[in-house]
Amino acid sequence: MQLIQDGLIGAWNLLIQQDKLVFDAAFRSVWISIVAVCLAACVGIPFGWQLARKKLPFRRIFVMVFQTGMSIPTVLIGLVCFAMFSRKGPLGSLDLLYTPGAIVLGEFCLALPIIVSWVYRTLASQDPRIRETALTLGAGVFRRAILELREARVGIMLALLTAFSRCFTELGIAMMVGGNIKFRTRTLTTATALETTKGEFERGIAMSLIILAIALLVTLTIAALGPKEKGGETC
Amino acid sequence: MTLRLPKTFSVYQRVESMIHPNQHRTAFNILWLCLLVLTLVLTSPGCTPAPSDFVKKKQVLRLATTTSARDSGLLDVLLPEFERENDCRIDVIAVGTGAALQLGSSGDADAVLVHARHAEQRFMSAGYGSRREEFMKNEFVILGPADDPANVKGRSARQILSILSSKNQRFLSRGDESGTHQKERELWVGLNIEPAWENFMESGQGMGATLTMADEMRAYVLCDMGTYLNFRDRIELAPLNSPSAGLDNHYSCIVVNPDRHSHLTPNLANSFADYLISRSVQQKIGRYQLHGFSLFTPTRLAETP
């Protein structure tokens, strides 16, 4: 109990003193996760729509692969990305290893299955009358997709939120391809792991509390920005 | 795989299934029951692994050690014999030196095995430990890319570090308060250099991970001999400093002060310290080899009878 109490006080002090390390890591964590989720959304939302609405070959296999992908351990993604970006790997010449860019790409792989699966599920369970009405009104593929996605916005918002929180709190990718380099690739989670190995448990707890606080802040922001009507009717 | 609601499930069927719970429901209930029983069986004490631990309650020594000592493989040679002789079990918690000392001071370990003299002396003077025995040493080594862009091969450690800082070379520091990191900081302080040049980086990870990173980044790095020997086939970094350059790495065992924590097992921890400095174990340490190189030099061989 003493440890948690000290952790709480420590977290407050770190915030008050505007600890350079904590703010640097927090800022990096946030922007990396946001970029990764945005990229994954650009690819994942159209692909999820295609899976739900088009007769793609191997559709069921795709769905299964992405659903399994939702529970990929982050260390596995980290390991595969490491093998790709390593100097001996196929993408070694890009010099991406141990840069924030590498973490973004790794977290993109983490977020993509979540977004695709959620978008697919949301659209698959959507009221078919929306699509039929749009068809009778003569909407083209593009207009129809926009309409259906707009109707499914609650589900998509949830998908993005889930993907963000998974990226924001993951440790394996950031540690393996980021390398936890001070002021370059150190994120909140790798900093927490470091404080723990250093034996500074109070600082570790303080950092985790800051992670939780930021996650809560993001959730609240999205909830405030989200649709005001009763949720769930379209999703 | 789709989660689409079954369209054939009409209102009539739904109501009917509520009034007459059908086979589906029964099958479902049986499934749940089976799962429940399975969970209960699996979590019952008799089913957990190593039932012998429950039959006979052995004394346990919690040893917090540095990762370098564990990774060297030496503990696997030394500990089983002690366990047999004293009929006890040693739980090894491998963490960095900083964390190991922290575990000692909070009473979460009975003994610690670390390599950072200054931190150990602070630990002892704060009264956290009741006994400290240095029992072996090895060396640190400065590694760098094989083509040696800074051209430092064969110089002393101090020269190498000052050249690296003045030439703005890539240097990867542990930055995790481990014994190796504390040694490195000692060297910087001795040289009166503030390690903050542009290409000076801190990995904040263990020695193995840091070596892999340094290899990928073609950076210079300070490493303990044991980890280097473990990694030498996998990395392209080469040792650069001349030998006898004042890079000694002393390992010691500290018995955590039992006056502060009533639940500790000081007798066992004390006999473990005795064991480490005993003649036979000291000889064993001297004979221990990793990949054909002897790794540690026992430091108490001369004084033991």
Inter-chain contact B213–A98, Cβ cutoff 8 Å? yes
Residue A167 lies in a domain: yes
Tell which of B1, B201, B221 to mutate to test the A interface (max A CBs under 10 Å): B1
Residue B96 lies in a domain: yes
Residue A20, pLDDT > 80, answer yes
Beta bridge partners, B113, equal B65, B253
How far, in Å, CA of A193 to CA of A207, rounded?
10
Residue B270 lies in a domain: yes
Are residue B164 and residue B128 in the same domain, yes or no? Answer: no
Are residue B152 and residue B167 in the same domain, yes or no? Answer: yes
Residue B242, pLDDT > 50, answer yes
- Tally the domains of chain A: 1
Exposed / middle / buried, residue A225 (Cβ in 10 Å: 0-12, 13-18, 19+): exposed
CATH number of the domain at B176, please: 3.40.190.10
Residue B10, pLDDT > 70, answer no
How far, in Å, CA of B260 to CA of B256, rounded?
9
The domain in which residue A72 lies consists of: 30-190
- Which residue of A lies nearest to B97 if distances are taken between CA atoms? A198
pLDDT at A61: 92
Are residue B225 and residue B255 in the same domain, yes or no? Answer: no
Residue A157 lies in a domain: yes
Beta bridge partners, A116, equal none
- Tally the domains of chain B: 2
Residue B228 lies in a domain: yes
pLDDT digits (tens, 9 = 90+) for A190-199: 999 888 877 7
Q: Taking the alpha carbons of A81, A176, A87, B230 in that order, is the dihedral positive or negative?
A: negative
- Which residue of A lies nearest to B7 if distances are taken between CA atoms? A125
Residue A229, pLDDT > 70, answer no
Query: Please, what is the average pLDDT of chain A?
Result: 87
pLDDT digits (tens, 9 = 90+) for A152-192: 888 898 899 889 999 999 999 999 999 898 888 999 999 99
How far, in Å, CA of B222 to CA of B243, rounded?
14
Residue A154 lies in a domain: yes
pLDDT digits (tens, 9 = 90+) for B95-149: 888 888 988 888 888 999 999 888 999 999 999 999 999 999 988 999 999 999 9
In eight-state DSSP terms, residue A230 is P
Over residues B54-66, mean pLDDT: 78
Are residue B195 and residue B230 in the same domain, yes or no? Answer: yes
Residue A231 lies in a domain: no
How far, in Å, CA of B204 to CA of A191, rounded?
8
Residue B6 lies in a domain: no
Residue B44 lies in a domain: no
Give the minimum alpha-carbon distance from B131 to chain A in angstroms, rounded to a whole number.
Answer: 21
Cβ contact B130:B259 at 8 Å = yes
pLDDT at A234: 45
- Residues belonging to chain A: 235
The domain in which residue B231 lies consists of: 140-239
Tell which of A59, A88, A91, A180 to mutate to test the B interface (max B CBs under 10 Å): A180
pLDDT digits (tens, 9 = 90+) for A34-88: 999 999 999 999 999 999 988 888 889 999 999 999 999 999 999 999 999 988 8
How many helices (H) and strands (E) are present in chain A, helices listed first?
11, 0
Residue A134 lies in a domain: yes
Give the minimum alpha-carbon distance from B91 to chain A in angstroms, rounded to a whole number.
Answer: 18
Of residues A109 and B11, which shows the higher confidence score?
A109
How far, in Å, CA of B135 to CA of B277, rounded?
6
Q: What are phi and psi of B218, to 5 degrees?
A: 50, 55
Chain B residues touching A199 at Cβ < 8 A: 95-96, 98-103, 177
Residue A51 lies in a domain: yes
Residue A103 lies in a domain: yes
B51 confidence band (pLDDT: 50, 70, 90): very low
Helices (H), chain B: 11-19, 23-43, 52-55, 67-71, 74-86, 97-105, 117-125, 157-166, 179-191, 207-217, 225-231, 266-277, 279-287
